[in-house]
Structure 1
Amino acid sequence: MDMIQWSNIFRLGIKELWSLWRDPAMLFLIVYTTTLAVYSAGKAQPETLYHVPIAIVEEDGSALSQRIASAFYPPQFTRPAMIGMHEVDPGLDAGRFTLVLHLPAHFQRDVLAGRSPSVQLNVDATRNGQAFAANGAVAQIVQQEAAEFVQGHRSAPTQPVELVVRARFNPALNPAWFGSLMELINIVTMLSIILTGAALIREREHGTVEHLLVMPVTPGEIMLAKVWAMALVVLVATWVSLTAVIRWAIGVPIEGSVPLFLLGATLHLFATTSMGIFMATVARSMPQFGLLMVLIMMPLQMLSGGVTPRESMPLWVQYGMALAPTTHFTELAQAILYRGAGWAVVWPSLVWLLGIGAVLFSLALARFRKTIARMA
């Protein structure tokens, strides 16, 4: 490429940036997804017990039942509401409680006599994010409090083997560390496809593509301009979100090199922006593009290894998703941001992203040339 071609690519890219600046809907999408959406994903805490509403039907009135009732406290549970048996079904139906624990009459007497009384736990399983985790927690609390009451002291039984658990990379098992970073990784993919695809469809709907055809520019220059302009916007937004939202607002420690992560994001954006242009040449309007986005984005997000480990997937899914850029970007991002991996660890992922990006760019360019040829 000579200097004139590079100048054309640069100026066309500036035109794309000005068009984006005059599009308030796209600007709002960029700001919202990289700030509030990332913050919400980190703070939602879907896998932990947090303010689970619980009620207790206490029919024994004994010291043991009161001890069990006092074992549920914030922030894992709300303060237990003491209700009667007639309030159980209405409370669950109205959604006021997720858990209702029933301690029957003569509960303490039966425990001390060794008769193993039955304790009923009613669970609103429609709130599955809390219900299944809370089910085991409540059972553990009741059994532990009853055992300590019978023994008269707190002691742990001697085990033949001592298991020492060491949680690497996330010692507190804080779901905010995982949720916020994975949300950002998904947003990078989504924004890059939407921005490039919408830019091309917008030009086609406004008739400005015909203006470009009479100018001394090639389809490759037009496409490269859209790729670098939209990739730059997403890359800057990613850096701001990683620094201001994830590291500062949520407090997630970033272990690895941010420049190395941004390098991987750049190669990933090269692939996904090309994918966005290819999809825009297939769709005839923005509604069609939106429907196509749903069909593409769901598999990319669900099967990339960010939600479920790839090792748990069928082999044909693992091999098929090896051709998707999101798979290697997710692997690279987790290695760098979570585990502090360096170049020696992530270079295969970078090579994969570069190769996949080159293939997608070639396919998108060939499709883009055919589309322009039909319009001419």
Structure 2
Amino acid sequence: MIERLKAMLVKEFIQVLRDPRMRFVMFVIPVVQTLIFGYAVNTDVREVATAVYDLDNSSQSREIADLFVKSGYFRLEARVYDDKAAQELIDRGEVKAVLRMNRGLGERLVGGRGAQLQMILDGTDSNTAGIALNYASRIVGGYNQRLQQDWGARHGGVQAFPGGVDLVSRAWFNENLESRNYYVPAVITNIVFIITMLLSSMAVVREKEIGTIEQVIVTPIGKGEFILGKTIPFVLIGFINVTLISLVAVFWFDVPLRGSIPLLYLATALFLMSSLGIGLLISTISRTQQQAMMSAFFVIFPAILLSGFAFPIESMPQIVQWFTLVNPMRFFLVIIRAIFQKGVGVDILWPQMAALLLIGVTILSSAVLRFKKTLG
């Protein structure tokens, strides 16, 4: 019995380890993923992209703006001078918050009267918005404490400061900061990516395993036609998934769909070019369905992690943020959340759509070039 067990173990180890690509998948990729996960998994929110809208331009308003920037929690991305510019920055996703200070703020504080400043937040990401609001409250609280100390020093400590700064917050697009409005649309991205990539990753390698690839080789069909024939069914499956999940999101979870439905399907088509291209590329490289399945899963988890689905990309180290630029999920998440919650159009989302088109064409072309109508 022991000898039979030993022989079985030796045979299985030889079977698994004889392929260099399988050894790479089993031993090298997990190490790489561990390094990525260690840097990227970070729920802390720092350096929130912020615009300053200072209508007062007093020493007090400038001091408050400096406190926000120097805190490390907010990063000054731009200074705006009208409401339209502030709205465009939030619509485009270039800033997550706008710090607005109205005229007369400094004068009221000098006179010992209360003053208000407004923090306008992009509520599509309820987690980031809520944390940023807490940071802002702490900064304003510290500033009020300093005002109290300065006022007491000037008046011999016998009088309390009658005024102070009152922070008024306003969340756009997701007024109640409900997390489901942020995460449920993103589920569309995850499900479509996983299903279409897994299915397409089996497309070519299955032909190799069952022996029908020889029949394909002797036919006059071209490589591009063969790849196209393999992808069209999965494209239809992807559109069906988007439709079903969107219906569930809107009618079951009451997630608002404020944008254009045709734009949603157009963006989905661009995204499917990437997800199916990755799957087909894996399928052309792999020799067995087991290899293709394992390789697909090793792509799926880093793609989801580095997409901004759960962890803000802005909180990741700079080198990890560069890796996210080749991740199609990152761009489709921005598009689908903007369509659902902001209702914006192509004039705002064209950079993300152009990125999806570029990534999709590159990956699909690589898959077509990699596929060879030979048995070698």
Structure 2 partner of 1:180: 184
Question: What secondary structure is seen at the aligned counterpart in 2 of 1:250?
Answer: coil
Contact 2:201-2:293 at 8 Å conserved across structures: no
Structure 2 partner of 1:328: 331
Matches of residues 294-309 of structure 1 in structure 2 within 5 Å?
294-309=297-312
State which of 230, 236, 243 in structure 2 corresponds to 1:232: 236
1:169 aligns with 2:170: no
Structure 1 partner of 2:102: none
Q: Which amino acid aligns with 1:375?
A: L
Question: What secondary structure is seen at the aligned counterpart in 2 of 1:305?
Answer: coil
Q: Which amino acid aligns with 1:283?
A: S
Partner Cα distance (1:236, 1:267) in 2: 15
Shift of 1:159: 7.3
Partner Cα distance (1:313, 1:258) in 2: 32
Structure 1 partner of 2:375: 375
Matches of residues 210-249 of structure 1 in structure 2 within 5 Å?
210-243=214-247, 245-249=248-252
TM-score by length of 1: 0.55
Matches of residues 6-155 of structure 1 in structure 2 within 5 Å?
none
Contact 1:257-1:342 at 8 Å conserved across structures: yes
Identity %: 31
Structure 1 partner of 2:295: 292
1:362 aligns with 2:360: no
1:265 aligns with 2:265: no
1:204 aligns with 2:224: no
Structure 2 partner of 1:251: 254
Shift of 1:254: 0.9
Shift of 1:194: 0.8
Partner Cα distance (2:349, 2:243) in 1: 19
Contact 1:281-1:367 at 8 Å conserved across structures: yes
Question: What secondary structure is seen at the aligned counterpart in 2 of 1:204?
Answer: helix
Partner Cα distance (1:270, 1:356) in 2: 8
Task: Output one character per residue of 1:145-166: Cα deviation in whole Å (capped at 9) or x when no partner.
Answer: xxxxxxxxxxxxx972222221
Question: What secondary structure is seen at the aligned counterpart in 1 of 2:220?
Answer: coil
Structure 1 partner of 2:284: 281
Contact 2:201-2:296 at 8 Å conserved across structures: no
Partner Cα distance (2:342, 2:317) in 1: 26
Determine which structure has the larger strand proportion and give its number: 2
TM-score by length of 2: 0.55
Question: What secondary structure is seen at the aligned counterpart in 2 of 1:278?
Answer: helix
Question: What secondary structure is seen at the aligned counterpart in 2 of 1:171?
Answer: coil
Structure 1: 5+ residue stretches without partners? 1-46, 48-132, 134-157
Compute the RMSD of aligned alpha carbons: 2.4
Partner Cα distance (1:223, 1:313) in 2: 36
Structure 2: 5+ residue stretches without partners? 1-42, 44-130, 132-161
Question: What secondary structure is seen at the aligned counterpart in 2 of 1:163?
Answer: strand
Structure 2 partner of 1:86: none
Question: What secondary structure is seen at the aligned counterpart in 2 of 1:217?
Answer: coil
Q: Which runs of 4+ in 1 moved over 4 A?
A: none
Q: Which amino acid aligns with 2:196?
A: S
Partner Cα distance (1:272, 1:265) in 2: 10
Partner Cα distance (1:201, 1:159) in 2: 72
Q: Which amino acid aligns with 1:201?
A: V
Structure 1 partner of 2:87: none
Partner Cα distance (2:184, 2:331) in 1: 19
Shift of 1:202: 2.4
Partner Cα distance (2:163, 2:194) in 1: 50
Partner Cα distance (2:182, 2:163) in 1: 33
Shift of 1:199: 2.5
Shift of 1:221: 0.4
Question: What secondary structure is seen at the aligned counterpart in 1 of 2:172?
Answer: coil
Shift of 1:273: 0.4
Q: Which amino acid aligns with 2:358?
A: G
Contact 1:227-1:270 at 8 Å conserved across structures: no
Partner Cα distance (1:167, 1:302) in 2: 26
Partner Cα distance (2:349, 2:183) in 1: 22
Q: Which moved more, 1:209-218 or 1:339-348?
A: 209-218
Q: Which amino acid aligns with 2:291?
A: Q
- How many positions carry a matched residue from both structures? 219
Q: Which amino acid aligns with 2:357?
A: L
Partner Cα distance (1:180, 1:281) in 2: 33
Shift of 1:360: 0.5
Partner Cα distance (1:186, 1:294) in 2: 13
Q: Which amino acid aligns with 2:323?
A: G
Structure 1 partner of 2:15: none
Seen in structure 2, the aligned counterparts of structure 1 residues 165 and 319 have a Cα distance that, compared at 3 Å, is same
Shift of 1:295: 1.4
Task: Output one character per residue of 1:226-249: Cα deviation in whole Å (capped at 9) or x when no partner.
Answer: 222211211122112202x11111
Task: Output one character per residue of 1:65-87: Cα deviation in whole Å (capped at 9) or x when no partner.
Answer: xxxxxxxxxxxxxxxxxxxxxxx
